Amino acid sequence: MVKEYIYVTTNPIHNVELVKVGRSNSPKDRVKTLSNGQPSKHVLEWYMEVPDSHAAEKIAHMVLKPYKYKNEYFKIGFNEAVVIIKEKVCHALDLNQPACFEGRKLRAATAATLPTASATTETTTNQSEKKIAKDQKASLVATDVSAQLTQTERLSQFVHEVHTKWRKANRSLAGLFSKQVGDEGETYIKRTLESKHGYSVVFTPASQTPVDVIGIKWCGYFWHLVMIQVKMSTTKTAYELSGKETQAIRDFGRFLKEEYLASELYRDYADKPIAFSVGLANVKNHRPAQPRCTLNSSYFINWYWSKLPREKLARIQELVEEAHSLK
């Protein structure tokens, strides 16, 4: 019997963070075919055996629709894509621990998040679990899965949930940001937050909320969740937000704060001090002269917080505004 799989690949040639999600009877051979005649080879990041690859691929493309770039390509990190696909496909097709292959980068990311425990701790945990009622075990499993997520994976799932709720509650704001935001501009801001400021960062699905890039970071004595709306142009002219756009960004920041404090994904963080902030970044794209982006300007719009020490609010606001400088 011929085995069927769905797979996730990346290609370093892309200037934006893209993954290809497809199906094949032989993912390794499929990657070789995709790489033929290309300046750089596709990288097979993950694949999973499924009973019906047509159905599995359809489900995967459906759950990743908010991140759709074009055809079978999606603008999302490969590790975040794998988490979403595996969860939804396994649930829809009723799969229990299907055979999977994880590439080197995904194995490294997973290994870095696995908790360690002594034999005594494991024994105690097993004894405790036996005393938990069946209706409580489901909650325990969900907590364990959440605990093994990287910050980026956790943030990606949370942002996906927030995006869905925001769009349902704010349909009147659809199309508010009609100025096209370049993918390369968003990627430039994402990389700046990651490399220069140490944040775990994700894109919002298809830029369908008032912000495009969201990051989170532990700043020593508080968490900071930063949200940035990215505007890109080919000139040095800075985009000025209208009053309606500014208010929408403020409202989204407040909305995300409330969702964060109520989220199961961040339940273990509920008692931790955290700052939420929103801002704007104007990016210049030098194409076609040069394939690069530079920062025109950026500024802080507003911030919200929970459980921050009041005697340190002034200093924390300085740190928050410094992050929005993107320098």
Average pLDDT over residues 223-251: 90
Q: Who has greater pLDDT, 154 or 16?
A: 154
Closest CA to 202 of 255, 242, 256: 256
SS (H, E, C) 302-326: EEEEECCCHHHHHHHHHHHHHHHHC
Residue 77 half-sphere exposure toward CB, CA atoms < 13 A: 24
pLDDT one-digit tens code per residue, 143-163: 444 556 788 888 988 998 898
Residue 13 has pLDDT above 80, yes or no: no
Q: Which amino acid is at 183?
A: D
Closest CA to 92 of 101, 100, 84: 84
Domain ranges of the chain: 4-111, 116-148, 151-325
In the chain, the N- to C-terminal Cα span, in Å, equals: 57
Average pLDDT over residues 83-89: 89
> What is the pLDDT at residue 137?
42
Using DSSP's 3-state secondary structure scheme, residue 290 falls into: coil
Cis peptide before 115 (omega within 30 of 0): no
Q: Determine the Cα–Cα distance for residues 264 and 139; give it in Å rounded to an integer.
A: 10
pLDDT one-digit tens code per residue, 307-322: 999 999 999 999 999 9
What percent of the chain is predicted at pLDDT more than 90?
A: 43
Tell me the backbone φ, ψ of residue 275, rounded to 5 degrees. -115, 140
Query: How many other C-beta atoms can be found within 10 angstroms of the C-beta atom of residue 322?
Result: 12
pLDDT one-digit tens code per residue, 172-219: 444 444 344 467 888 899 999 999 999 999 998 865 689 999 999 999
Residue 74 half-sphere exposure toward CB, CA atoms < 13 A: 28
Average pLDDT of the chain to the nearest whole number: 82
Q: Determine the Cα–Cα distance for residues 38 and 56; give it in Å rounded to an integer.
A: 27
> What is the pLDDT at residue 132?
39
Tell me the backbone φ, ψ of residue 42, rounded to 5 degrees. -70, 145
Are 170 and 28 in contact, with CB atoms under 8 Å apart? no
Q: Determine the Cα–Cα distance for residues 25 and 254; give it in Å rounded to an integer.
A: 47
Are 181 and 232 in contact, with CB atoms under 8 Å apart? yes
Residue 16 has pLDDT above 70, yes or no: no
H/E element holding 289? none
Are 293 and 284 in contact, with CB atoms under 8 Å apart? yes
Query: How many other C-beta atoms can be found within 10 angstroms of the C-beta atom of residue 35?
Result: 15
